[in-house]
Amino acid sequence: MEEYMQVALQTTGYSMLATVSFIGMAGDMVTEQAFDWVFNRPKIVRASETICRLVDDVRSHKFEQERGHAASGVECYIRQYGLSEQEVYKEFHMQVVNA
């Protein structure tokens, strides 16, 4: 699951969204430090990525199973921890709440 999340968090696009949002800002806010802050993935960015990824994994899980799509976070968690689908959904919900 850890390996999956390392890749999956990057696919949420939150770091890119934060970076691109600087384009519309004027003044002293858009500095090299601001970009460094985003690129270092502070806690708020990591939490946003986690929330997006886990909610998306739960919402798309059934659809991805029907399509025979690559393993989702739900499938990875089921295999790694031997939990049921519903148990994984509850665990992901708790991780979202705690993000």
In 10 A of CB 17, how many CB atoms? 12
HSE (CB half, 13 Å, CA atoms) of 96?
14
Mean of pLDDT values over 73-91: 93
Q: pLDDT by residue (tens digit) across 28-72?
A: 777 888 888 888 888 988 899 999 999 999 998 888 888 876 778
- Residue 28 has, within 13 A of its CA and on its CB side, a CA count of 0
pTM across the whole model: 0.76
CA angle 32, 36, 40 (to 5 degrees): 175
Residue ranges of the domains in the chain?
2-98
pLDDT at residue 93 is higher than 90: yes
Contacts made by residues 72-79, CB under 8 angstroms, sequence distance 24+: 73/1, 73/4, 73/5, 73/8, 76/1, 76/4, 77/1
Q: What angle do CA 27, 29, 41 make, to 5 degrees?
A: 155
Q: Give the other-Cβ count within 10 Å of 28's Cβ.
A: 7
| CA-atom Rg of the chain in angstroms | 16
